[in-house]
Amino acid sequence: MDEGLRVSARLELPSAAHACYVLAHGAGAGMDHPFMSAVAVGLAARGIATLRYQFPYMERRTRRPDPPALCRATVRAAVAVCARRVPTLPLIAGGRSFGGRMTSQAQAEEPLGSVRGLAFLGFPLHPAGRPSDSRAEHLSRVQIPLLFLQGTRDALAERALLEALLTRLGPRASVSWLEDADHSFHVRARSGRNDVQVMSAVLDSLCEWLKGLL
């Protein structure tokens, strides 16, 4: 990352934390979006620290994402800062949609040394209405555990395609399906659940995976 370029970050560090999640935001909203805040608060209540951070384009308040190389460099810088700030905590990385994909691209390019696993909060496998798994080709070069947290109505990740991808990736990859949830983890009233309950299920699944990882 350009030495002259700085972005904002926010560390949530609960007492007796036993791990830290380096958490990247999605393409259209920054680190203080209500979804990101809810993840950080919910994980803190479960003993997991988070480091949220901005990509440069979001820091500039523009809508067009930065080139992938700059995003990957930002991920790498955030992980390095987190490792310095909480040197005794095991790290995982990933994030919301676009942020999770940029994190996995960074890991595929060159391992994020201290990161033990990647967790995706809605991996964007393909554009809506254009099913494909080409966005996930780089995952074959990621050799650490992967967790996909996905809604069954996610228009950016057709279930059959994602399950086929998981089969190819083998035992290092796992998925937690959220019934009736869309890409934003919203559920319909007729599902019998609400968004708060779905978020709780997402975070419980992440913590259970992390427990096995550590």
Q: How far apart are CA 134 and CA 146, in angstroms?
A: 17
Query: Using 50, 70 and 90 to split pLDDT, how confident is the model at 1?
Result: low
**Given this model, what pLDDT does residue 5 score?**
84
Closest alpha carbon to 66 in 99, 111, 92: 99
Which regions of the chain does DSSP assign to beta strands (E)? 9-12, 19-24, 48-53, 91-96, 115-121, 146-151, 173-178
CATH number of 9-213: 3.40.50.1820
Closest alpha carbon to 124 in 152, 100, 107, 147: 100
- pLDDT tens-digit readout, 72-121: 999 999 999 999 999 999 999 999 999 999 999 999 999 998 999 999 99
Domain boundaries, the chain: 9-213
**DSSP H or E run through 98:** helix 98-109
- pLDDT tens-digit readout, 11-40: 999 999 999 999 999 999 999 999 999 999
**DSSP H or E run through 171:** none
